[in-house]
Amino acid sequence: MAEPFIHLSGVRKVYRKRDTEYLAISDASFDVMPGELVALVGPSGCGKTTLLKILAGLHERDGGEVRIGSGTHTFDPSRDIGMVFQQPLLLKWRRILENVLLPAEILGLPAAESRERALHLLELVGLAGFEHKYPYELSGGMQQRAAIARALVHDPKLILMDEPFGALDALTREKMNLELLRIWKESQKTIIFVTHGIAEAVFLGTRVVVLTAGPARMADNIAIELPHPRTLDMKTNKNFGDYTRHIYKLLGME
């Protein structure tokens, strides 16, 4: 049996401020296999982003176990994680190619190889020809595609995405969902995608991890057995509806 790429067991997180404590995550336990796209879904404020930050090494956990990597391969969060946030966070004074190259520059990777990879990634995300534009010259969806390319440029093993399409209009968001699935298939990266959109989670995920209202605990870990490539027509499929209704029920919304 294949070894999990990510293993979480009983993860707990407490925020402390002066004499008060706030339990953000009470118990998060699940595995992620190599190459999976796992969606984390739950109500606003349930601890999804906190859990992502623990995985990224930005927050310490207060209990439980987190293990990332498999076999003899070591895992270095500073080198092996790419992150995509709700806003693209592109540097407005740098052209798109220069923005994409930023992680490679910070890590001191070879310039010529990094530039070649950045150009390939811009082609992969549909931005060939826009390398020398500034962020303000691109639409919101195009900026977010550049942010995805930036997250991939140093060839990380894990991509963490924190509601990356939340600020986009509905039509652009649908297009970006399809774009992400295409990029995921071509790049073969392991992705954890945080969202509060239940339909989005079902559409994107190989599995959906459902978190309850904070303090977060895992309500279910659902394998999404919908065929690939995913199409928007699937959202009218009975199986798709069954998955979404099940998650609504878990969250007390039905």
Q: Are 87 and 161 in contact (CB under 8 A)?
A: no
Residue 207 has a pLDDT of 96
Residue 52 has φ and ψ, to the nearest 5°, of: -65, -40
Sign of CA dihedral 168, 226, 52, 186: negative
pTM of the full predicted structure?
0.93
Give the least confident one: 8-12, 49-53, 67-71, 240-244. 67-71
Q: What is the pLDDT of residues 162-214, one digit of tens each?
A: 999 988 888 889 999 999 999 999 989 999 999 989 999 999 999 999 998 87
Q: What is the pLDDT of residues 50-70, one digit of tens each?
A: 999 999 988 999 999 999 986
Q: pLDDT band at 38, cuts 50/70/90?
A: very high
Q: Is the pLDDT of residue 77 over 90?
A: no
Residue 112: strand, helix, or coil: helix
Type of residue numbered 109: L
Q: Is the pLDDT of residue 160 over 80?
A: yes
Cis peptide before 229 (omega within 30 of 0): yes
How many Å apart are CA 181 and CA 149, to the nearest integer?
A: 14
Residue 215 has a pLDDT of 77
**3-state SS string for 40-53:** EECCCCCCHHHHHH
Residue 73 has a pLDDT of 61
Interval 109-119 mean pLDDT: 96
Distance between the two ends of the chain, CA-based, in angstroms?
Answer: 37
Residue 71 has a pLDDT of 63
- What order of strands is seen across the sheet that includes strand 158-162? 63-68, 6-17, 20-32, 216-223, 207-211, 37-41, 190-195, 158-162, 81-84
